[in-house]
Amino acid sequence: MPDMSASASLAMTHLVSFAKEVDEDKVTPGVLGFIVFAAMALAVWALMKSMSRHMNRVDFTQVPDPKAEQPEQTPADADAEPAQAEPSGQAGKKQG
């Protein structure tokens, strides 16, 4: 074994005993996992609050469509309509 100082040897002894205490079959998130989870929870809360504020500003009243109020044509009215004009390219040509 290479030459180690007394403090390094003592530190290695404590690390080895600590490693024996940690169960390798258990995985815990630790403090970092809690901090990440808390930050994500705060971000979701802030986004929900912002979305709620924006949704409260939306005006949901619907203006009726003026074209929808016109009465529908009956079949007799459809016969009275003038014929549609021919497209400009077809006006002077004879069909053959």
pLDDT value of residue 28: 82
Whether this prediction's pTM lies above 0.95 is answered by no
pLDDT value of residue 2: 54
Query: What is the DSSP secondary structure assignment for residue 70, as one 8-state letter?
Result: S
Tokens of 44: 């979701």
Query: What is the DSSP secondary structure assignment for residue 45, as one 8-state letter?
Result: H
More confident residue, 28 or 18: 28
pLDDT value of residue 66: 79
pLDDT value of residue 43: 98
For residue 93, count other CB atoms closer than 10 A to its CB.
8
More confident residue, 34 or 24: 34
Q: Which residue has the tokens 């002077």?
A: 92
Segment 2-24 shows an average pLDDT of 64
Sign of the Cα torsion 40, 45, 46, 48 reads positive
Q: Which residue has the tokens 């990440």?
A: 36
Segment 9-14 shows an average pLDDT of 66
Segment 20-24 shows an average pLDDT of 68
